Amino acid sequence: MDETTLPLPPDHRLEASTEPAHGAAPGYDVAPPAEVEHDLALRMLYDEQTRLRGEIDEMRKKQEEAGKKGEGGDEKKDENKEGGEDDKEGGDKEGDEDKKPPLKERLAEDGEKTKGWIHQHIFATIGIVAASILLIIGCALLLHYLNSYEDTDDAFVDGHTDPISFRISGIVSAVFVEDTYMVKKGQLLIELDARDNQVAKEQASANYAQAQAGVRAQAPNVPITSVNQGSQVNQADFNVVGAQANVSASEERYHSAVADLQQAEANEANAAREEERYRLLVVKQEVTREQYDQHATDAQAQTAVAASRRETAAAAERAVVQAESQLGQAIVQAKQAKAVTPRQIQEQREMLAQRKAAGLVAKAQADQSQLNLEYTRIYAPEDGIIGDKQVQVATQVAPGQELFALTQTNDIWITANFKETEITRMHAGQSVTVYVDALKQKFEGYVEALPGASGAVYSLLPPENATGNYVKVVQRLPVRIRLNPGQNGYQRLRPGMSVEPKVWLR
């Protein structure tokens, strides 16, 4: 079959063989134009395919001619056929090698053919180019999209779950909720028997009233004691002043008595001398006996007066000593009064402070009894849903015993455990799209905060990498994601739901 030059339709390009053309060199010096390199390679493959199809047609014709001969010559025919085919293939190869023009001419010829095909199929060429450009743009956009986010399926809805328990012990008298009940903040949930606590409150209130009465009774004692002690100090000062005046008067009386004594002694001495002189004159009978007796009597009288004055002076001296003693005693008493007064006033103040402290203790006990009475009722701390209920009426409960759990519904977030290699470009404030498996719905949110450590660090048994054989494991870090409020279906979210967050990095 003669080899003919046929146009290169698009459907034949797809059917062309991918094997290189027979006799083609693996490399050549002259490179085809860049815009037709691909079409030129397809054209060469198409030419080789056409040549092989012609050889197959010739072989089929020879087989049909040989089939008309007898069966006895089948084997010989087959041998001749095989030998002929080998010879033909060898001859064809040699002929092809001899007939093929140089590579440069063949490339130029193929380039001319390709250009001709492009001119003949201008719209197909434009379509191919446009499809290539769109494919490149699509790949670039796809790569950009894949690099614009990080996602994970290790995430779930998180929230506050408040354990509800009593602060005091008692018997449950009423339970107002069951599992899955929706409650509002401030709603009564459970109640204890409050009679014992009511009695304790009344007793504490009575003790507080008694303590307040004691404070009121003691409060006036401080100023009263201050006034009384001040009066005593003033009286002691007055006593000192009086004692000093008494000493002064006693000393004056003593000095007067001494002066009188000295005068009496002088008079006594003078009277004694007069009596002696008249006694001599009587002997000489120069004076009368009566005159002598008069002077003798005067001498005796002066002696008695002098003796009396001595006793008066001694008494005055004793009075001075007594007055000085009384003055010393008054001074000591005044000092004692001044020293004792502050202590007595402070003692009254301390007693008042003690009464006040007792009043505070009583008040604290009364307040605690009031709190215990209030603790017999538990109200919902936030809006939420009741779960894990473990209490019934008439149950004896202890302080801190968990009765049920309240899952808050007004404050929820997403905890996404990203790999440490996935948070390289992640930061707070980035937008997040969250897909909730249970609701088959997407929600919008943002990254609220990055964690302070990996989940392994916060675990019950954190890893000890300094001991044993170390095996590197990619860690996960819990990233908190906050959802935008007001979205449709937000109120249906519950802690524990599985989600798939997608953090947009750009």
Which among 146, 173, 205 is the end of a domain? 146
- Asked if the structure places residue 208 within a domain, the reply is no
- Asked if the structure places residue 369 within a domain, the reply is yes
By the 10 Å C-beta count (0-12 exposed, 13-18 middle, 19+ buried), 91 is classed as: exposed
pLDDT attached to residue 41? 65
Q: What is the mean predicted confidence (pLDDT) over 337-361? A: 86
One domain, residues 232 and 363:
yes
Q: What are phi and psi of 489, to 5 degrees?
A: 90, 0
CATH for 300? 1.10.287.620
Are 426 and 150 contacting, i.e. CB atoms less than 8 angstroms apart?
yes
One domain, residues 106 and 188:
no
More confident residue, 128 or 99: 128
Strands (E), 232-289: none
Q: Which of 133-142, 240-249, 357-366 has the lowest mean pLDDT?
A: 240-249
One domain, residues 45 and 19:
yes
One domain, residues 296 and 367:
yes
Tens of pLDDT along 102-111? Answer: 655 665 666 5
CATH for 188? 2.40.30.170
Q: Identify residue 389 by its one-letter amino acid code.
A: K
CB count within 10 Å of CB 275 equals 20
- Asked if the structure places residue 1 within a domain, the reply is no
185-204 burial, b at 16+ Cβ within 10 Å, e below that, comes to eeeebbbbebebbeebbeeb
CB count within 10 Å of CB 115 equals 14
One domain, residues 180 and 69:
no
Residue 67: both structure tokens together? 């089939």
pLDDT attached to residue 388? 93
Q: What is the CA radius of gyration of the chain?
A: 67
CB count within 10 Å of CB 74 equals 13
One domain, residues 257 and 344:
yes
Q: C-alpha dihedral over 395, 397, 401, 406, to 10 degrees?
A: 50
Distances (CA, A) of 416 to 147, 338, 376, 436: 19, 80, 40, 13
pLDDT attached to residue 339? 80
Place of tokens 């802690």: 495
| Distance, CA of 312 to chain centre | 98
One domain, residues 109 and 181:
no
One domain, residues 339 and 227:
yes
CA neighbor of 243 nearest in space, from 313, 337, 322: 322
d(C-alpha 224, C-alpha 348), whole Å = 9
One domain, residues 394 and 476:
yes
Tens of pLDDT along 400-424? Answer: 999 999 999 889 999 999 999 999 9
Q: Which of 120-129, 237-246, 467-476 has the lowest mean pLDDT?
A: 120-129
- Bridge partners (DSSP) of residue 481 are 414, 447
d(C-alpha 60, C-alpha 255), whole Å = 183
One domain, residues 426 and 289:
no
Tens of pLDDT along 311-344? Answer: 888 888 888 888 888 888 888 888 887 787 788 8
pLDDT attached to residue 181? 94
- Asked if the structure places residue 119 within a domain, the reply is yes
Which among 373, 406, 432 is the end of a domain? 373
CB count within 10 Å of CB 241 equals 13
d(C-alpha 349, C-alpha 355), whole Å = 10
In this structure, what DSSP letter does residue 397 have? E
Please name the residues in contact with 250: beta carbons below 8 A apart, sequence gap of 6 or more: 316, 319, 320, 322, 323, 324
- Domain total of the chain: 3
Q: How confident is the model at residue 91 (pLDDT cuts 50, 70, 90)?
A: very low
Q: C-alpha dihedral over 292, 295, 301, 304, to 10 degrees?
A: -80
Q: Identify residue 442 by its one-letter amino acid code.
A: K
Please name the residues in contact with 32: beta carbons below 8 A apart, sequence gap of 6 or more: 40, 107, 110, 111
Q: Identify residue 443 by its one-letter amino acid code.
A: F
Are 366 and 209 contacting, i.e. CB atoms less than 8 angstroms apart?
no
pTM: 0.54
d(C-alpha 21, C-alpha 19), whole Å = 7
Domain that holds residue 454: 155-193+384-504
Tens of pLDDT along 492-506? Answer: 999 999 999 999 987
One domain, residues 230 and 354:
yes
Which among 87, 120, 146 is the end of a domain? 146
